[in-house]
């Protein structure tokens, strides 16, 4: 497994990317509005926050479980 700091950096970068994408979707005001994509983005951000919190608390097993959830949701990390 890679260094924890690299994983944290990847997660923070992904969080920024997802935030930008959510804001783009909102700004585009598409019709029909992509509510499911918005919800998926919010879910990914929540999982990233939980993962970062688990890493900060040195609960690496829980962090690993959250990373697995992120992967199942389609977020690919370079581990």
The residue segments making up the domain with residue 23 are 4-72
- Does a structural domain hold residue 60? yes
Mean pLDDT of 3-16: 94
Q: How confident is the model at residue 34 (pLDDT cuts 50, 70, 90)?
A: confident
Answer with the residue of higher pLDDT: 32 or 52: 52
pLDDT, averaged across the chain: 92
User: Is residue 77's pLDDT more than 70?
Assistant: yes
Buried b (16+ CB within 10 A) or exposed e, 7-35: beebbeebbeebeeebeebeeeeeeeeee
User: Is residue 47's pLDDT more than 60?
Assistant: yes
How many helices (H) and strands (E) in the chain? 3, 0
pLDDT more than 70, % of the chain:
97
- Does a structural domain hold residue 38? yes
Q: Could you give the number of structural domains in the chain?
A: 1
DSSP state letter for 57: T
């Amino acid at each position: 497994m890679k260094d924890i700091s690299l994983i944290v950096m990847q997660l923070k970068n992904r969080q920024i990317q997802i935030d930008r994408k959510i804001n783009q979707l909102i700004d585009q005001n598409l019709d029909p509005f992509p509510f499911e994509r918005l919800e998926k983005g919010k879910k990914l951000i929540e999982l990233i926050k939980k993962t970062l919190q688990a890493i900060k608390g040195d609960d690496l097993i829980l962090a690993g479980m959250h990373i697995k959830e992120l992967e199942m949701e389609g977020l690919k990390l370079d581990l």
